[in-house]
Structures are given as C-alpha cells and as structure tokens.
Chains A and B, each alone.
Chain A
Amino acid sequence: MANKKVNKKDITGLLKEWGQQFAVFAPSRESGVAAMAEWDGKDTSFLDWYRNTVVPPKASFLPPMEEMFRFQKGKEGYNIAPPPKAERSQLLFDVRPCDARAMAILDMTFEQALEDPYYLSKRKSAILVGLGCTNPCESCFCTSMGVSPAESADVDLMLIDIGDDFLVEEVTAKGKELISKTSGLKEATKEDEAKAKQARKASYDKVTRKLDTGGIKDKLLASFDDEEFWEKVAAKCISCGICTLLCPTCYCFDINDELVKQEGTRFRSWDSCGFPNYTKMPMENPRQEKWRRVRQKVCHKYEFYPMTFNVIACTGCGRCIRLCPVNWDITQVIESVPARTEAKK
C-alpha cells in the first residue's frame, strides 16, 4: 500500500477540509497550558512549538468535567434526560504515539463489562491523527514501555516529518477511508519512505531515558506490605494529584450533583487517588496515610492493571516526571522496588 504525503504549507488547507466533516482539535496554548483545543481555522504555529500537550488528549473523551444528565422536578415527579450528543465527531490532530497508546489502555476499562456511554460514544466516532516526535523530552521513556515515538498502531493516520512534507501513513481502515476522500495529497515516493524510516529510527534513538520493567508486577506484589519502602518512596510527595490528573492512562472520576432551584445536573469530574478524601468512608479511611496513596498510584499502573488486562498502564509519556512540583520520578521508584521473591510482611 502506497502512503501519501502532504506539504507542511498545505496543513491549513488539509485541516480546513477535514473541518467540514469533523470538529478538528489541535495543540493550542490558548488556555495557558498546551492542550488539544478546537482549531481556530488558521493557526498552525503549533507545528513549530509542539512537543507534547500538558493536558493529555484523554480530555477529549473523558473531559475534566462532564455533564451526565439533567433532571427536573415537575408535577409528575422527576424527569431525567441525558445531554444532547455532539453534532460532529472529533478529529484529533497531532496525537503522540504514547498518548494514542494510553487511550487504547483506557478503552480496556471503559469497554469492560458494562460500557461507559459517554467516553465510548466520543472515542469510537473520533479520528486520531498521530504525529511522530522529532524532539522527545528528557523525561520521556516511551521506548521502554513498548512505544516508539514516531510509530503507532493506535492512531488512524500517522504523520512523520520528512523535511518539507509529512508522510501520511494509513494505519486503520477508518484512516484509509478518510484519505480516500481527502484532496490535495500526493503519492509518497520511495525516497520519502526511506526518509520516514530514517526519521523513525532517529526519533527512537533520541529517547535516552530507559526503564527496566522486567518482573515488576511480581516485585511489587512481594513488596506490597513493605511500609518502610513505601514511606521512603512517598516522602517528598505533596499529594497535589498532578501526576494522576494529567497522566494519560489515569481515569478516576468523581460524581456530583448540582441543583439550582428545581433544575439540576449530575456531572463527573477528574479525581485522583492521591487525594486523602478519595477513599474516605464514614467510619474510616483505608488510605489516610500518604504512602498508601502513593503505593496505590504506582501499583495500579505497574501491578493491578497488568493483573487485570495484561498490560502496564504507563506509556512512558514522562508527564508525571516533567510536571511534578517536587521532582518525584516514577522511573526511579520502579527501579528501586526490591527484587524479592517472598512477600515482605
């Protein structure tokens, strides 16, 4: 199958064309931090500054705050109505391979057993257009987590920087179909493919941070009750929640009601296992102590998710390392888990 290419100068036109069918989202700093935001129809300066978003693109499918339904009390009692569905599907432009993988990991939870209609209706109708990294951060360790910075099977289309052009790879049938209806793309030549191959390797080699995750699930299980170890790991954490709220594979949410006169909404909002109230029960709190909460965060990703879904829920995106105010570092933690075979009690 021959791939296509698009000249960098033609990106505006391409997004405009896609914008007729989709709500196009692209990296933006409009809100103060880099995040996916609805494209304004002209600005493509993100192509210059973009490394990755601070807010992961999971926010497109699991927004920080989301209405679940409205209710109204009338003469006949309560009336409940879900919010109207979005008119147009989303097209996310320039998703990084680590974040695309993260959404595949989130799908496992939202699809399992009872399906989550809010997440899945948005997710399944969306198109992901990936963009290979040319300039990974020092904190990135995706290559240790089975992700390659300029390759992805988790997007519909994948763009790779080959100089004046982006190579456009058709990854899924959905992506292929979109390309067949898109004008202005040129056929990629053999030289283009060769350049892309080189670019993929160059990106891969630029990720210098490495993490050995061998046997981590069992090591964590054996160290679960090692309070001394976890106390040390958690010592400097200030429980701000950033590393979880902005982690692309974290999905915890809270549910609350808001009532104005007789009309109300129920909404959900991001939550974090790092917060002490998260598990607070009327009579007691199983995770009052900070080390228990930090243990939960680490074990959920590297022990529990593998136990349930056979995959580590971390893609090495490095956000939790870059954004932590006290330089807590998940790679250091994982490396320091004792290699014991018997459970420490």
Chain B
Amino acid sequence: MTIATITVNGLELTVDSELTILQASMKKGIYIPHLCHHNELEPVGACRLCLVEVDGNWKTLACKTKVYDGMQVKTETDEINAIRKVALELLIADHDTDCLACAQNTNCALQRVADHIGVDTARLARMKPREKVLPVDTSNPFFDFNPNRCVLCGICVRTCDEIVNVNAIDFAYRGLGTKVAGFGDKPRLESNCVSCGECLVRCPVGALTEKNYQRPVSYVKTVCSYCGCGCGLMLGVRNNRIVTAKGEPGNKASDGKLCVKGRFGFKYVNSPERLRHPLIKRESGFVAVSWDEALDYVAEKLADSKGESFAAIASAKCTNEDNYVLQKFTRSVMQTNNIDHCARL
C-alpha cells in the first residue's frame, strides 16, 4: 500500500493512494453526496452529485478520480452547491415522495443526499410535475421494482453485469423515458433474472424492495442451510421470526453474496407444515405423544435390535455435532457400524 497525503476541506488526511477521492473521504468519515457509487462496482459517475474541486482550479467527480500526494480537495463551493442542488431537484421532481410508506425509509441514499443539500419545496413545486406514474413490476415472487422510486443510478444494472454476470437488466428508452428493464421491457420474471437479489440489496433507494418487508430488530450470523458453498448468512429476526436475510459481509467463502435459495429460501423455517410433536403410528394413523412416551417407546423397540440388524442414516443437512452424536450412538450403544448418509447421492 502506498500512502498519499491529501487535504480535504482544509483537513490533512493520510490515505491509501489506490483509493478515489470519494472512497478516501468516506473512509475518513467525510461525507460527499453520491447515489451511483458502490464500493464493489466500477464507478460510472452518473449522478454527478460527488462533484468536488481539486487544487483550487478544476472540478472532477470524486468517485472517478484517484487521490495523489499533495492533492487539495474542496467538497463544497458555491458553484458546486448550486450544481448539486439542481441535480437533486431534478431527481426529486421525478420521484415518489411517500417516504413513510417506503421500505427504505431512514435507510435511503436519496434522503441522505436531500438532507445534506437541503430541499426547497417552493422551488420544487414550480418544476414540471411528473407526467405519469409507471406501473410497479411485482412479477418476481420475492421482490418488487417500483420505477417511480428509481434514481437511475445503474447500481442494479452494474451488479447484475459485474457481480452476477447474468445481465438480466439494462437501461431502456431515452431521455425522460429512461428506465431499468429486462429484455423487451417484459416483467422481471420473464427475463433471464435468476432472482439472486444482489441488485435488491445494493439499490440505494426504495426502487427495489423485498416483498412484505419487515425491518428486523437484530441480525444473527450463521451459515446457509442449502448447498456446500456454505455462504455466510445473516438472519434478520423480529419477534422470534425470521423476517429477512442478507449475506455476511467479508465471509471468506461467499464474500457477502447469496443466491436465491440462501436469501429467500429460509421461509420453510416458519412454515405451518412443520412437525410440532413426536408422532407414533397407531391403527388410526399418527398420534401426537409426549417426548417421554416417544423416546421410551423407541428405546424399547431398539433394545431388541442392537448389533447388525440396526442401521442409521445420518443427514448431511445436520450439524457436525448432530452427526458426531449419531455415529457415537450407533457405534457405542447400538454396537454396529451400519451408518451412512447421502454423500453418495
């Protein structure tokens, strides 16, 4: 890592010279307004909000310019503030303002930008109102796309290209009519989208939102229960129910990413079809019994078949601890090595 010393708004900072002005400043806790920047994606400079003045004589986009030793940065000047204000007003004029009903409320990058720059409602009112409200795409079973809340930052488009390599979506149409769409502007479900939700988690505003989203009160770090990738999973919990999930940032196996099963497939845990009681089969069918009754009954039956007439099938879905105890039980109590699982399948 090579070091550069830069000055931001008169404050001297020592930073990694590989970083952009935006990354370096944000890292040091200095906010520069932005919407289209995402740390995992190539910068595009689409929102123009991160304009800064460098060395007192030129203006550049902080997201696309690397720092160098001795660089002098000003994040606000009268001129920059004026440009930003117009850019923001144009965005808001074309955006829903029912923030309280939005899943991203208080988490939204547009709110943050508006908070920083300030909004003049009188000026906004004079702007030409939006021509029409676009239909919300609710075709995907897990998330919705509301183009009326989209700021056209392109983060979803770049995520689907650069990270997921599926390229299900892109900008369609021109000018004011520009929107994010799948091939032929058909519903998202009919595109080649694999429903991974990587775009959803990166959307800085409320344009892409999880269906029936409830904000969790806490997250618990665990591991996905589906495939052998073993992705780090953060389960969002509220009132003893799992309400959402996200990738564990920095997990060595999955680097914060998830596929459709990991992100949305936890819902079976809350399924009403879950088994709730031990069951014993009687003539009339299964009867719910207490644990003591069930365990005593099983123990009594198994006592007769210790040795080679007993077999156990373990589960590759269960934990190491579950498997260890089962094989120990089979070998030490049932006195047989008849134990296997489905690895062969």
A and B pair up: no
Residues of B within 8 A of A (CB): none
